[in-house]
Amino acid sequence: MFSFKIEKYLLVISFLSIILIYGCSKKLPMDKQIGFDSITLLNQDSSQVVFPDEYKNKILLLTFIYTNCPDICPMTTHNMQLLQEEVKKDNLKNVQFAELSFDPERDVPSVLKEFGDIRNINYNNFTFLTGKEADVKKILNNMDILALPGDTTKTESGNVYFFTHTDRIDLIDQNGRIRNEYRGSKANIQEIIKDIKALED
């Protein structure tokens, strides 16, 4: 009789905790820990950025680009700029923006800087990242980002190639957990801002 009571009690407790856990995390659809630590990358000024350590205790919007991209990546970058403006307007503190190149061979820091400068990027809380090919690959694999180089096209001054690639922005919380992902080039700015606000609470 007594043990039956305890069982009932435990049942109620576990039920309550399920509801509690569900209630807390249901705001955001994902909760996946980034599976690597302390990878040293370079930013657009050739300064070292240790990833993801640099973004601990911060909310991070991370996307993946290559600067030779004429259509999709500029759209995504423009959306990141719109998000940056919106974050400022809404006075949301502690939000960082980063774009990691999946084409480190061509996207050296100076190339990333030029890509940012020509778009008037506000580097306050916006960073372009590149790194050693093996390090970048490790991040891409872990975050399920595909970037497949296509055929090479010959031009007067040399060759050029383009990528078939994942079109995504990831939302990473203060503990380095991926909490949502969005289509980068067609991102819904207000939806992302809402998610950032949910993480701030």
Residue ranges that bind other proteins, judged by CB under 8 A: 67-72, 74-75, 78, 114-115, 118-120, 146, 150, 153, 155-158, 160, 162, 164-168, 183, 185-186
CB of 67 to other proteins, least distance (A): 6
Count other Cβ atoms within 10 Å, centred on residue 183. Answer: 13
Cis bond upstream, residue 52 (ω within 30): yes
Q: Which is nearer to other proteins, 90 or 114 (CB)?
A: 114
Instruction: Give 3 or 159: the residue with its C-beta nearer to other proteins.
Output: 159
Identify which of residues 137 and 197 has a Cβ nearer to other proteins in the complex.
Answer: 137
86 Cβ neighbours under 8 A, 6+ residues apart = 189, 193
Identity of the residue, 129 or 169, whose beta carbon is nearer to other proteins in the bound complex: 169
Q: What is the DSSP string of 49-112?
A: EEETGGGTTSEEEEEEE-TT-SSHHHHHHHHHHHHHHHHHHTT--SEEEEEEES-TTT--HHHH
